[in-house]
A and B are shown apart, each in its own frame.
Chain A
């Protein structure tokens, strides 16, 4: 269970990215966050694993207060929260397998990992995760030689190495073409259905959100605009979220 209470984030520049956002996510839900660019989606996701420190409010996850965690506790929390990114954020010059193994860093002995040493179990696990996302044959290729869709699948494999209970996905398909987008979203759906991983995914397109989400949360100017089932978003709600001039774009 993830509980967000009165979450507010004001950046040093004075920009208010989040304004008193509260909601709860029960385990195993596939939640999609929608909203315009700059509506606070990325900030919200990054507050959850404290890549960004919130200004006010609390985030409780499985009874642990993430916002008050010490550095030590925070690392323990972070390793159970996987994250994938719009720009994939792979280490481009390293091999795919090294990228996937990096997901294990929170668990390994720091001294060994500094010389790039991982246990045999970790290696097998990494290959298994790559197998799962269908690119085991690319394990020893440099990450930047893969296509966008393949890179995002490496990102998923890396997050899976963390053995996560919660997966944060920050616009995971915004840099991909429609067909690849669906394949990546299908992997996320699979993780949600088969492994029971809670998924919190931000998306631009409402149509994609409708296809995959159990529940949709909409942000507008940092405030919670909508929280409910995908079917509840009618034209009026759509305009409230995206603005009066918005036109629906369907993604096949």
Chain B
């Protein structure tokens, strides 16, 4: 391969470098033009002056305010000088002003001198015509002896010659101690709001992000595999279990709620439930049952069932108790606590239905998987394929029905059914290839891998196009209309034609896949979860927090709550990604060692993963808080509360001195957080 002479290679190399540099210059030049970099504007004197003024004000923030005392005195001046006429001056008191000459007309330069003012303060001069409409002139410094001398130009004042006008001098000086200005107080209030806003957003995001990060860590999920039949049974049972959960577990949640709202019963019930579970667990775990035995599974399913029933009851009871506490603590100094608990209780009550559904779904799926695992293992070949086809068809139909339901929500989401169908087709072809073409030749390596990849992509594109046509996706994607609402009447039930078609596609692809793979083939359940969770995180992260801010402002109104929601959502995505990368970078050694002891997956995570990720997780959380403080200023611009909202108002009113205070406050808080997060990071990592 490398038989070219060294010199020609190096010439080629030089040419490549040269071309690279040229391309770089061209790209940069285009960028220069596109971004409109212009030096003319920057040199325009008026713009420079305006900018200077704005900057000066920004850098002269109104942090402090001080009481001022002032004296006002004035002297007369005649408009237009007339021979022999003198101007009467007021009687001189301890502070007085002398104007020389004491007459003049527009454009004349006259000098104004004052005596007896407060030393080292300043004086403000105004022109007072007989009409009384004062006109500001200049500001002058008073020297150490209480004297000032300044030149002014007689302004263009309407008036007859010979008329007597006045020049008023107002000397003012601070008295008493300086105090924080009104602006500063407002900024302080808002910066506290901002810090809490960022804190709430960060802390609410952390648990969700941690959970998602485990699902998004390849090294943890890769090992989770389960026979295809088991995975499909679990998946198909999810909606059944959810329905049963809503039906059977919801009353338990309601009972907990009702009891909890009376406190005593709720507390007793919750404690009794947990104690009962503990006792049963102790007894049940003491039984030595052989693995794979029916009773072994029965114990596990029974324990799960009991655990979930106790859990949903305790959940309801906690919600009820929170509501009760909220009602009790409305008054007095603990009012804010009552408000917090009350709202929390209402929130829990609100999601109770979802919790019951999820608990039911989880339970049904685990029961199905638990019992099917051993049973499916002994299934022979034709039965395995047939059952695989049936389960695959059901699973595929369910998956596509879910996608159709999502596609019914918004036009753009119409892309999901064909996309998922294409993904299924890709897996399907990969599987077929592995089974019939490269079978039994594991060493065959790269050529087969490439062929498989190309064929998979071709299949994906074809299936995408077919599904697109069959489901009339163009209606959603191009016309921007939701799928047609036409209904297909089946007598007992009626189903939207669009959903039915999607389910049909899912059933065909899933059935085919299930038939080919059979129930025993190993399904990468972990990687499926990994990909789903990754996709959600990436999609969330791609949405600008500013847009989220706008959406939430529309939903919950202007204020910090909207900001909290927007930043929470964005933090979940950002932290989930950062956390999962940390989890993927852990030392695999301990993981292996803990697995080798016979630990379960969850135990492995708790013992081998969590100790390794706690320090970086804390560091990233601090870092996120820091970012959220900065970001909340941006969110504030669209109405998300906090200091950003104030800053926007100040800027819109051109009150740069006030804006300066806000900018300073942000800078101080951000640097403190920056320093704190850095030092915490140093200490714990």
Contact = CB atoms under 8 A, between A and B. Distances in A.
Interface in A97-117: 102-107, 109-111, 113-114, 116
Contacts of A116: 606
Given A16-B443, A79-B597, A70 B377 contact: yes
Interface of A: 10, 14, 16, 49, 51, 55, 70, 72-73, 75-79, 81-83, 85, 87-94, 102-107, 109-111, 113-114, 116, 155, 158, 161-162, 168
A91 B607 contact: yes
Contacts, number: 103
A75 B594 CA distance: 11
Given A78-B596, A91-B608, A105-B603, 15 more contacts: A10-B443, A70-B374, A83-B593, A85-B593, A87-B589, A89-B589, A89-B590, A89-B593, A92-B612, A102-B597, A102-B607, A105-B598, A105-B607, A110-B602, A168-B596
Contacts of B600: 75, 105, 110
A194 to B, nearest CB: 22
Contact of B281 (A76, A111, A155): A111
B291 A106 contact: no
Give the interface centre of B281, B377, B587, B607 by most chain A CB atoms within 10 Å: B607
A81 B589 CA distance: 17
Question: Closest 4 interchain pairs by CB?
Answer: A106-B598, A79-B598, A89-B589, A89-B593
Contacts of A10: 442-443
B151 interface: no
A25 B305 CA distance: 44
Contacts of B606: 113-114, 116
B611 A94 contact: yes
Given A89-B590, A109-B285, A70 B596 contact: no
B657 interface: no
A236 B608 CA distance: 45
A162 B598 contact: yes
B445 A51 contact: no
B599 interface: yes
A54 to B, nearest CB: 12
A114 B281 CA distance: 15
Contacts of A94: 607, 611
B557 interface: no
Contacts of A55: 442
A162 B595 CA distance: 12
B446 interface: yes
A221 to B, nearest CB: 14
A82 B596 CA distance: 7
Contacts of B285: 109
A116 B603 CA distance: 10
Given A72-B292, A105-B603, A14 B446 contact: yes
Interface of B: 281, 285, 291-292, 296, 373-374, 377, 442-443, 445-446, 587, 589-590, 592-600, 602-603, 606-608, 611-612, 614-615
Contacts of A90: 590, 593
B592 A51 contact: yes
A70 B597 contact: no
Nearest to A80: B598
17 contacts: A75-B598, A76-B291, A76-B598, A82-B596, A85-B592, A85-B593, A89-B590, A90-B590, A91-B607, A91-B608, A103-B597, A110-B602, A110-B603, A111-B281, A114-B602, A155-B593, A158-B593
Contacts of B445: 14
A81 B596 contact: yes
Contacts of A111: 281
A16 B597 CA distance: 27
A105 B597 contact: yes
Contacts of B292: 70, 72-73
A85 B589 contact: yes
B603 A113 contact: yes
A70 B371 CA distance: 13
A95 B581 CA distance: 26
A106 to B, nearest CB: 3
A93 B611 contact: yes
B205 to A, nearest CB: 23
A91 B590 contact: yes
B593 to A, nearest CB: 4
A89 B589 CA distance: 5
Nearest to B603: A105
A12 to B, nearest CB: 9
Contacts of A110: 600, 602-603
B611 A91 contact: yes
B598 A78 contact: yes
Nearest to B307: A111
B592 A105 contact: no
Contacts of A70: 291-292, 373-374, 377
B593 A93 contact: no
B286 to A, nearest CB: 10
Nearest to A78: B598
Contact of A51 (B446, B587, B595, B607): B595
B602 to A, nearest CB: 7
B598 to A, nearest CB: 3
A93 B684 CA distance: 11
Contacts of A81: 596
A158 B597 CA distance: 9
Contacts of A155: 593
Contacts of A83: 593, 596
Contact of B443 (A14, A75, A79, A105): A14
Contacts of B446: 14
Contacts of B377: 70
A122 B417 CA distance: 53
A93 B615 CA distance: 10
Contact of B597 (A78, A85, A88, A109): A78
B14 to A, nearest CB: 36
Most buried by A among B443, B594, B612: B594
A50 to B, nearest CB: 9
A164 to B, nearest CB: 10
Nearest to A98: B607
Contacts of A91: 590, 594, 607-608, 611-612
- Residue with the highest number of chain B CB atoms closer than 10 Å, among A77, A94, A116, A162: A94
A179 to B, nearest CB: 24
Contacts of B611: 91-94
A75 B296 CA distance: 14
Contact of A106 (B443, B587, B597, B615): B597
Nearest to B303: A111
A81 to B, nearest CB: 7
A73 B608 CA distance: 22
A91 B594 CA distance: 9
Contacts of B443: 10, 14, 16
A40 to B, nearest CB: 15
A144 B480 CA distance: 60
B602 A106 contact: no
B167 to A, nearest CB: 78
Nearest to B377: A70
A92 B291 CA distance: 33
A78 B598 CA distance: 5
Contacts of A16: 443
Nearest to A75: B598
Nearest to A107: B598
Nearest to B615: A93
Nearest to A68: B377
Contacts of A104: 597
B442 to A, nearest CB: 4
A22 to B, nearest CB: 19
A78 B592 CA distance: 12
B373 to A, nearest CB: 7
A72 B291 contact: yes
Nearest to B296: A72
- Which of A16, A75, A83, A89 gathers the greatest number of chain B CB atoms within 10 Å? A89
